[in-house]
Amino acid sequence: MQHSDKIYIAGHRGLVGSALWKNLLSKGYKNLVGRTKTELDLLDTRAVNNFFETEKPDYVILAAAKVGGIVANNTYRGEFIYENLMIQNNVIHAAYLSGAKKLLFLGSTCIYPRDAPQPMTEDCLLTGPLEYTNEPYAIAKIAGIKLCESYNIQYGTNYISVMPTNLYGPNDNFNLETSHVLPALVRKIHLGKCLEEGNWDSIREDLNKRPIEGIDGEENAKRRRGDEAKGRFGDEKVIINILEKYGISVTHPLTSSQSAKSSSQSVESVTVEIWGSGAPMREFLWSEEMADACVFLMENIDFKDLSYSPLRPIAPSKDPHNPSSIREIRNTHINIGTGHEISIRDLAHLIKEKVGFKGNLFFNTSKPDGTMRKLTDVSKLNQLGWQHQIDIEEGVGRLYNWYLDN
């Protein structure tokens, strides 16, 4: 890539896209193009085609997707498969029609079978059943990989697919209704700390920045109860109720008038609920490192570097015009991760330590665990020349500091 090349990042304001935008700028790429959802609806085929025809980007990074945690994936199954398929089909095909030189498609390690051998190599794809709770999303991402491979084989395009592990970092999704496990735990444990300290100013500030089900730190809470005249205490009851709905419960809540006495409050009065047993193991990668890996691949690796495969014999034929063997090109995607894992239980306790929460963590075993292990084999990525630097202990501290500042 040349620094003057036009690079379109689909989803440039999200966790992944914003990290990619920042990384490209830092490396001297100035001709970056992004569109918000209101400016360009990627579900609209005609709008996407018109955009590509007008802008004609040299390079495309497809970081836009409908994403969410285990609850969102399992609840909105139709939306997850339909919207992701439409986004991928529209962008990848429009890139082909407009003559883009190269495209990077971002998937997810949920493409691998639920019971895949650990760590998971790229060759595990399509070797077994998927985890049920996110099966629609995984199928959409598998289709994206195959769309890129198929266009490369038939049309000679240069499309690369990467499968990042669980990502976290700046501009993460902290919406408790849809977020992934790590940002959700950071926010829940932070709010738990604020409750145990009776720090209602911080609770209100948090909800004003990121309302929960429309309830912010003040006005919406009062309107819902219809008791504007009752003042802040009425608000606090509404806030406590919505926090309890999302697993942040308090036995003896402190009101504003009691905040000054917070030092005497028992730490056992606040409990943060976590879905599942805490036993599942997960791998996490700082989003800015994922962006660095993607830009490295865009600059240095082409599809031809990934598509070697041996000839596979087929049934002999007496027809001399029919080949006796074919070359299979598959599993050309690249895992992006750390190769290290941590249990959800240990992650929760790590976040508790970083946040300074002294209350209880309750692991609700009546809720699903999901896949027990999802560790990527990053040998291919390492052999291509890239390796991560930020471990989970440092990353959690960075994320919490970012959350407080933003």
Both tokens assigned to 365: 């075993």
Quote the distance between the C-alpha of residue 230 and its chain's center.
41
Cβ distance 149 to 92 under 8 Å? no
Which residue segments constitute the domains of the chain, with CATH numbers given?
A: 7-173+282-341+373-392 (3.40.50.720), 198-264 (no CATH)
H or E segment to which residue 379 belongs:
helix 379-384
Cβ distance 330 to 148 under 8 Å? no
H or E segment to which residue 336 belongs:
strand 334-336
Residue whose entry in the numeric block shows the structure tokens 């009425």:
234
Decide: helix, strand or coil at residue 212: strand
Distance set, CA 348 to CA 15, 297, 392 (Å)? 21, 33, 12
Amino acid at 177: E
* Active-site hit among 8, 96, 137, 400: 137
Sheet order of strands, 7-10 included: 32-33, 7-10, 59-62, 102-106, 159-164, 334-336
The whole-number pLDDT of residue 225 equals: 55
Quote the distance between the C-alpha of residue 210 and its chain's center.
18
Over residues 280-293, the pLDDT tens digits come to 999 999 999 999 99
H or E segment to which residue 160 belongs:
strand 159-164
The whole-number pLDDT of residue 233 equals: 47
Both tokens assigned to 206: 């948090």
Angle at 281 between CA 289 and CA 355, to 5 degrees: 65
Strands 32-33 and 7-10, by their bridges, are: parallel
Strands 7-10 and 59-62, by their bridges, are: parallel
Q: Does 400 participate in catalysis according to the annotation?
A: no
Closest CA to 216 of 227, 225, 204: 204
Q: What is the DSSP string of 237-261?
A: HHHHHHHHHTTEEESSPPPGGGGGG
Cβ distance 276 to 365 under 8 Å? yes
pTM tops 0.85, yes or no:
no
Per-residue pLDDT tens, the chain, 406 aa: give them.
999 999 999 999 989 999 999 999 999 999 999 999 999 999 999 999 999 999 999 999 999 999 887 778 889 999 999 999 999 999 999 999 999 999 999 999 999 999 999 999 999 999 999 999 899 999 999 999 999 999 999 999 999 999 999 999 998 999 998 888 999 999 999 999 999 999 999 999 999 999 999 898 875 545 555 555 444 445 788 999 999 999 999 876 555 555 444 444 444 489 999 999 999 999 999 999 999 999 999 999 999 999 765 556 655 656 666 666 677 889 999 999 999 999 999 999 999 999 999 999 999 999 988 778 889 999 999 999 999 999 999 999 999 999 999 9
